[in-house]
Structure 1
């Protein structure tokens, strides 16, 4: 079994009126290769007549974004012609690849009536050979994502495999990703294949990871000493869990662009300014 090395708190970094906490990157953990970035928005309740999510049109290149809608809903629109509104329990997986412009906003109905909102957004790096892949997007509702019963809980399988099932999202780099909900007394042993990087974020509650208490709103860094992770719950917990092969390449990041060199970052900025990423009109 893998053991906890360190726990990294999600620090507040609100965006407009959106409550935001971020455990990655942090001072002690600039990346968890290939995982680059995690924002935890909410939980909060928006009033009626709100302005909604503040993520208007902006560009990306060189990586993938995975958004988990834990409560509320989020509308997606991008320059590749993809458009959707994903509700509670759904997931959006976007490959920015060679570059696109997208917007992540609240639909009109949410802005009018308000309601609870909680969203996780994870950035997953791409290796140099795939950074200029054709952009792609898939948005699935909760009903499209397998909900696998556990001992005292449920595992929602987003990508990769678990218990003989396959998640509906096909990652370019074989990333396995899932969310879990456990009640008091719940227990699960999750795969953590040798050589793979494990991503474990505690959304809510305080689970025991191989007997060690993990803290709410913390990214849990694990060692390489095993091929599985045992998680037990003394009370209700919610987790984001995944694993992936490390890329092991240089990372050059600037705002919404993640490449391998500073020269490639300059090229991305020039291409965006030249209109090569397309545009989104709200």
Structure 2
């Protein structure tokens, strides 16, 4: 079995009225500790009242990585300067490749602003290797019914196969850099095992519930770090649970992150700021 190196509890912060658990990076987890997985914020669960201001993510730039947004509850409207505009609801995902530069916003729908409701959203940043940092920006938005759902253990385990391959089945997205991502929902006593090849970084974050993982109890809001040897992760749910899990090869390149940009050198960060300020990412026309 793969060895558990450490468990890290996400820390709470208020982000413009949005309850947020910062999973990584943190004081304990460096931004490149689980590379290519760089950053994870867990927003909610939270109930917004009627006539609310919605999510606090107005127009902002990105360059050099990909964002993957998981809509557990509520909705989110993605708008960007390349022309994409899509509303994704509970159970769906948004996959954005920032590449050489993009400006986007992530807001609540007009219906949510008016009526309020539950919201729970996770956003993950996945680093791009240097050879892909200047690809054209792109966006994919998928509703729940557009994602393969793999039903295991007599219905007690359901894998939402987001990218890569899971249980021999192709996921909804095949990423530029062989990123495998899924959310797995467990009913009580549901069991699942996965073998991870040597050298791959594991992303393992328990959104809700409680699991026994390779014999250790894992509580909700915990990120688990594993060794990089080939081995199996054995999971059993002690209650209804939702898990974010992934694995990928690290890029083994320098990671320099500042604000909304992730590059390989400090000079490239400075160039990214200059390109944005000079309008090379395009214009925000909305």
Q: TM-score range by the shorter chain?
A: over 0.9
Q: Cα offset for 1:226?
A: 3.1
Unaligned runs of 5+ in 2: none
Matching residue of 1:10: 10
Aligned positions of 1:76-155 closer than 5 A? 76-151=78-153, 152-155=156-159
Higher mean Cα deviation, 221-230 or 182-191? 221-230
CA contact (8 A) 1:61 1:97 kept: yes
1:270 aligns with 2:256: no
2:24 alignment counterpart: 24
**2:224 maps to what in 1?**
220
- Which of the numbers 51, 67, 70 marks the counterpart of 2:69? 67
- Provide the aligned C-alpha RMSD in A: 1.0
Aligned partners of 2:128 and 2:196: how far apart in 1?
20
Give the aligned partner of residue 198 of structure 2: 194
Q: What is the CA–CA distance in structure 1 between the aligned matches of 2:262 and 2:230, rounded to whole Å?
A: 31
SS at match of 1:268: helix
Q: What are the ranges of 5 or more consecutive residues in structure 1 without an aligned counterpart?
A: none
Spell out structure 1 runs of 4+ moving beyond 2 A: 224-228, 279-282
Structure 1 length as normaliser, TM-score?
0.98
Q: Per-residue deviation at 1:218? A: 0.9
Note the alpha carbon deviations across 1:166-204, whole angstroms, 9 max, x for none: 111121100000001111110001231211100000101
Cα distance between partner residues in 1 of 2:267 and 2:13: 29
**TM-score, L = length of structure 2:** 0.97
Checking the alignment, whether the CA contact within 8 Å between 1:77 and 1:280 is kept in structure 2 is: no
